[in-house]
Amino acid sequence: MVCLGNICRSPMAEGILRDKAIERGIRLTIDSAGTNRFHTGEAPDHRAVAKMKEHGHDITDLRARTIEPEDFGKFDRIYVMDASNMQNVLRVPHKPAHSSKVRMFLNEFQPNGNQAVPDPYYGGDDGFEDVYQLLDKACDAFLNSLNDES
Ligand code: 4NP
């Protein structure tokens, strides 16, 4: 799960997906990262932590990091939150064959919609609820698609 700072959207996505995967008994390696280094080593934004807590998820253990070339080999999918994240991720050195791993996360429930998870950082609390609802739907759609494949 990748966003810009790795303190709002992508740690929320990581936290929702890891809890849902456990609930469904699906073993996945899930991580998140940012495309910039501004917040490296920091815990998620307090508004993201509070919103997640409100919905029953604890993400206080997560710490921000920056995406690195090795991630392209380690993971089968690299989900980005918006088109700008997509551009930035594709600038990280990787094998050409791995470019197709990079996908817009909301395309999981709206294929080819290319809808963004809006950056909530400079907005109010409503933004975090919107982000939560979008991520919740996309996580369910992603997990359902794994069931379809098996
Ligand atoms: P995120 O949100 O990409 O969802 O983690 C942001 C966090 C920090 C900044 C921008 C967006 N920032 O400019 O510091």
Q: Is the CB of 119 under 6 A from ligand 1?
A: yes
Q: Is the CB of 47 under 6 A from ligand 1?
A: no
Rounded Cα–Cα distance for residues 49 and 71 (Å): 25
Relative to beta strand 78-80, strand 102-104 is: parallel
Helix count and strand count (H, E) for the chain: 5, 4
Please state the pTM of the whole predicted model: 0.97
Q: Over the stretch 72-89, which tens digit does the pLDDT of each residue have?
A: 999 999 999 999 999 999
Q: Over the stretch 102-128, which tens digit does the pLDDT of each residue have?
A: 999 999 999 999 999 999 999 888 999
3-state secondary structure labels for all residues of 94-109: CCHHHHHHEEEHHHHC
Rounded Cα–Cα distance for residues 54 and 85 (Å): 27
